[in-house]
């Protein structure tokens, strides 16, 4: 650093009015206001620019030299305020920028079902752009724009909503387009799933990916006693239209909820610790609204009921055991005496450390458009987490589906992301 200081001194010496050796040497030619030096304007500008650069470099070097850690800590509030936190690095959140992130997924599928158009291909399945930040004290804005090259609309707003935090004690309000509170995993974005694709029952009866609506939702943590957690979510939404139900001889897919207009949702979610490291969760969900594409055209309405049970147990470090079961029933018709389809899945996941996890998923589901048919599958899922921002997953499935008594699939999924990306409690 010494040579920079010397250079700064030399540069300063060239500036009129500065007390430096060059100026002192010209004392005999003193003029009012001190000695002067006449130099061409271009040289003067160059010197000024150089001085600015040196000063900047000096500042950086000073900042880089960490002072010794404090031996005496601040002892009170006033001193703490004086002990300002370290300045935020470039790109830090102290800047008035939202959190911007991109999460990308690619999937490859090898399948013995020759009807599957996606078999033996690797596709970019989705890129999710997240923009998140606070717009006001206790008002948070989240927007997630997804891009899927295979979709009819390659780019769409998956979620864009405001969260009013703590409107009343335990009460949050959401306004905008978002995943609705239905079932245990509907709020979870697909890059955070513990499997490659949505369990069959959710895909056929609820949504291909997540049940989404435009509207408002209230989420209230109930004032319970003891260690019982209970949260009630109530929402009213406008649906995004019918899902895409397929018929044989294609692979049969349910249309999901297919709410075409305003629909309402309610979910009660309860949890209680089991010992120091365990947690048992129980949930009941309900959704009802006008639906198109029902098995009985003209029936007008569909109703979804869901029940879920989750047990999590944590061990040392990052180890975790998760057991989950979820069942969904879908009814059609105003009196719900119309067609009914249901299904369930059972899922277990063991994470011995932060790098690996092993999952087992059993699926069973009927189809709303053909309730007399069903499909089932058993999947083994291996996940290798390379970092917080990058993982690789392999899912091997053996199952049966209408038109094919037995099939095998092997999925490979890559997920990677950049930038800060957070979601609500999942």
Which element (helix H / strand E) includes 201? helix 200-205
Contact call for residue 263 and another protein (CB under 8 A): yes
Return left, alpha or beta for 186; rule: phi > 0 is left, psi -120 to 50 is alpha, else beta. Answer: alpha
Q: Which of 37, 51, 110, 230 binds another protein (CB under 8 A)?
A: 230
| Rounded least distance, CB 254 to another protein, Å | 21
Burial 370-392, CB ≥16 within 10 A → b, else e: bbeebbebebebebebeeeeebe
| Rounded least distance, CB 16 to another protein, Å | 36
Contact call for residue 122 and another protein (CB under 8 A): no
**Footprint on residues 158-197 left by another protein (CB under 8 A):** 163, 165-172
| Rounded least distance, CB 245 to another protein, Å | 18
**Contact between residue 341 and residue 375 where contact means Cβ atoms under 8 Å apart:** no
| Rounded least distance, CB 288 to another protein, Å | 5
| Rounded least distance, CB 89 to another protein, Å | 6
Q: Which of 73, 96, 297, 372 binds another protein (CB under 8 A)?
A: 73
Per CB under 8 A, which region of 65-73, 188-196, 246-254, 399-407 contacts another protein?
65-73
Q: Which of 103, 303, 381, 415 binds another protein (CB under 8 A)?
A: 303
**Contact between residue 35 and residue 23 where contact means Cβ atoms under 8 Å apart:** yes
Q: How far is CA 300 from the centre of its chain?
A: 34
| Rounded least distance, CB 307 to another protein, Å | 11
Q: What is the Cα–Cα distance from 341 to 262, expressed in whole angstroms?
A: 22
Q: What is the Cα–Cα distance from 29 to 38, expressed in whole angstroms?
A: 13
Contact call for residue 398 and another protein (CB under 8 A): no
| Rounded least distance, CB 221 to another protein, Å | 5
Sign of torsion over alpha carbons 23, 24, 27, 33? positive
- Nearest residue (CB) to another protein, 23 versus 127: 127
Q: What is the Cα–Cα distance from 189 to 42, expressed in whole angstroms?
A: 60
| Rounded least distance, CB 66 to another protein, Å | 7
Contact call for residue 290 and another protein (CB under 8 A): yes
Q: Which of 50, 115, 320, 398 binds another protein (CB under 8 A)?
A: 320
70 CB-contact burial (10 Å; exposed 0-12 / middle 13-18 / buried 19+): exposed
| Rounded least distance, CB 165 to another protein, Å | 6
| 425 token code pair | 């409690």
- Nearest residue (CB) to another protein, 51 versus 131: 131
Nearest alpha-carbon partner for 331 in 293, 302, 297, 295: 302
Contact call for residue 222 and another protein (CB under 8 A): yes
Contact call for residue 69 and another protein (CB under 8 A): yes
**Footprint on residues 26-55 left by another protein (CB under 8 A):** none
Residue 35 CB-half CA count within 13 A: 16
Nearest alpha-carbon partner for 249 in 404, 357, 382: 404
Q: What is the Cα–Cα distance from 401 to 407, expressed in whole angstroms?
A: 8
Q: Which of 88, 358, 360, 380 binds another protein (CB under 8 A)?
A: 88
Per CB under 8 A, which region of 196-204, 244-252, 312-320, 370-378 contacts another protein?
312-320
Tell me the per-residue interface mask from 135 to 154 with another protein, x by CB under 8 A, - otherwise: --xx-x--------------
Contact call for residue 1 and another protein (CB under 8 A): no
| Rounded least distance, CB 31 to another protein, Å | 47
**Footprint on residues 356-395 left by another protein (CB under 8 A):** 386-390
Does a cis peptide bond (omega within 30 degrees of 0) precede residue 189?
no
**Contact between residue 414 and residue 105 where contact means Cβ atoms under 8 Å apart:** yes
Nearest alpha-carbon partner for 381 in 352, 361, 362: 361
Q: Which of 7, 312, 370, 392 binds another protein (CB under 8 A)?
A: 312
């Amino acid at each position: 650093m010494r040579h920079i200081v010397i250079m700064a001194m030399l540069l300063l010496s060239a500036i009129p009015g500065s007390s430096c050796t060059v100026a002192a040497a010209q004392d005999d030619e003193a003029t009012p206001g001190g000695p002067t030096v006449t130099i061409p304007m271009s040289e003067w500008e160059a010197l000024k620019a150089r001085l600015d650069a040196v000063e900047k470099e000096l500042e950086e070097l000073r900042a880089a030299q960490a002072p010794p850690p404090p031996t005496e800590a601040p002892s009170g509030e006033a001193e703490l305020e004086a002990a300002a936190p370290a300045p935020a690095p470039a790109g830090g959140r102290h800047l008035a920028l939202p959190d911007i992130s991109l999460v990308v997924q690619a999937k490859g599928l090898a399948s013995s079902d020759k009807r599957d158009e996606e078999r033996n291909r690797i596709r970019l399945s989705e890129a999710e752009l997240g923009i998140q930040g606070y717009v006001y004290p206790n008002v948070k804005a989240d927007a997630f724009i997804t891009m899927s090259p295979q979709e009819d609309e390659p780019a769409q707003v998956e979620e864009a909503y405001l969260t009013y935090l703590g409107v009343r004690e335990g009460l949050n309000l959401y306004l905008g387009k978002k995943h609705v509170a239905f079932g245990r995993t509907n709020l979870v974005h697909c890059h955070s799933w513990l499997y490659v694709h949505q369990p069959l029952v959710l895909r056929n009866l609820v949504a291909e990916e997540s049940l989404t609506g435009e509207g408002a939702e209230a989420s209230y943590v109930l004032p319970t006693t003891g260690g019982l957690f209970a949260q009630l979510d109530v929402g009213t939404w406008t649906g995004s239209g019918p899902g895409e139900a397929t018929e044989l001889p294609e692979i049969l897919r349910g249309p999901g909820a297919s709410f075409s207009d305003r629909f309402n949702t309610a979910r009660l979610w309860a949890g209680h610790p089991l010992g120091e490291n365990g947690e048992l969760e129980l949930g009941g969900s309900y959704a009802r609204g006008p639906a198109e594409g029902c098995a009985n055209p003209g029936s007008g309405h569909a109703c979804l009921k869901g029940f879920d049970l989750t047990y999590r147990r944590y061990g040392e470090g990052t180890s975790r055991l998760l057991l989950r079961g979820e069942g969904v029933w879908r009814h059609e018709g105003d009196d719900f005496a119309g067609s009914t389809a249901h299904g369930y899945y059972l899922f277990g996941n063991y994470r011995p450390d932060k790098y690996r996890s092993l999952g087992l998923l059993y699926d069973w589901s009927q189809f709303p458009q053909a309730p007399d048919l069903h499909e089932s599958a058993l999947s083994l899922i291996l996940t290798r987490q390379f970092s917080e921002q990058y993982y690789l997953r392999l899912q091997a499935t053996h199952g049966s589906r209408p038109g094919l008594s037995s099939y095998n699939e092997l999925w490979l999924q890559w997920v990677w992301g950049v930038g800060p990306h957070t979601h609500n409690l999942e």
